[in-house]
Amino acid sequence: MTVLHVRDFEIHPGYFSSVAQEQLVARLRECLEQAPLFQPVTPRGTPMSVRMSAAGQYGWISDRKGYRYEARHPSGQEWPPIPDALMTMWQDLVPDARLPECCLINWYDEAAKMGMHQDKDEADLSQPVVSVSLGDEALFRMGNQTRGGKTESVWLRSGDVVVMAGTARRAYHGIDRVRPQSSTLLPKGGRINLTLRVVT
Ligand code: MD6
Ligand code: FE
């Protein structure tokens, strides 16, 4: 399989076949029955444009109290287990890493975006983050270890996987926009992004 390197980001185009994508979406629907999507607000109280849920021992929460990992969904329920296909992918792509403790599930509608940010709420930043894109294409922007400076962007398509390890683990990144109706995977359109992380 081909691998693209953009800075220290490792992109695996079409890692998941369309059949594997369909199966994964079916499993995610089961996860979301147990742990429904919710709309997080930033600590300042602004609603985020993505809707979120999670699987695994921990989910990531943002509300007026701040950003943090929690062992339970806002409903009080435990998060569902991380689907097997994602654990297998993790072991294939980052075999030396510890096992993931969180699979964050983000749902982007056609107007959603994600500002430039670092993922740094995890205790051990030597562990990678692996992201899976499903559904509509999204413009992914990759920056530097500090805010600002030159950036590079790529369109992520359904089935693509991005490994953020090494210097990319601490690099700023974000989603500028989603291209509506660019995939038929999700009947109502939109994009799902999964990010697997080691939390502790
Ligand atoms: C993406 N997502 O959607 C990249 N980070 O392709 C992220 O970088 C991300 O979706 C933190 C929390 C949620 C995310
Ligand atoms: Fe991120």
Mutate to test the pocket of ligand 1, among 142, 162, 195, 197 (most ligand atoms within 8 A of CB): 195
pLDDT tens-digit readout, 17-44: 999 999 999 999 999 999 999 999 988 9
Q: Return the bridge partners of 18, or none.
A: none
CA of 73 to the centre of ligand 1 (A): 19
pLDDT, mean over the chain: 96
Q: Long-range contacts for 144-148 (Cβ within 8 Å, ≥24 apart)?
A: 144/171, 144/172, 145/170, 145/171, 145/172, 146/172, 147/116, 147/172
Centroid of ligand 1 to alpha carbon of 154 (angstroms): 14
pLDDT in tens, 160-171: 999 999 999 999
Residue 60, classed as helix, strand or coil, is strand
Give the predicted TM-score (pTM) of the model: 0.95
State both tokens at 92.
């294939």
Mutate to test the pocket of ligand 1, among 131, 137, 169 (most ligand atoms within 8 A of CB): 131
CB 80 within 8 A of CB 124: no
Structural domains of the chain, ranges and CATH numbers in brackets: 4-197 (2.60.120.590)
Q: Which carries the bigger pLDDT value, residue 63 or residue 3?
A: 3
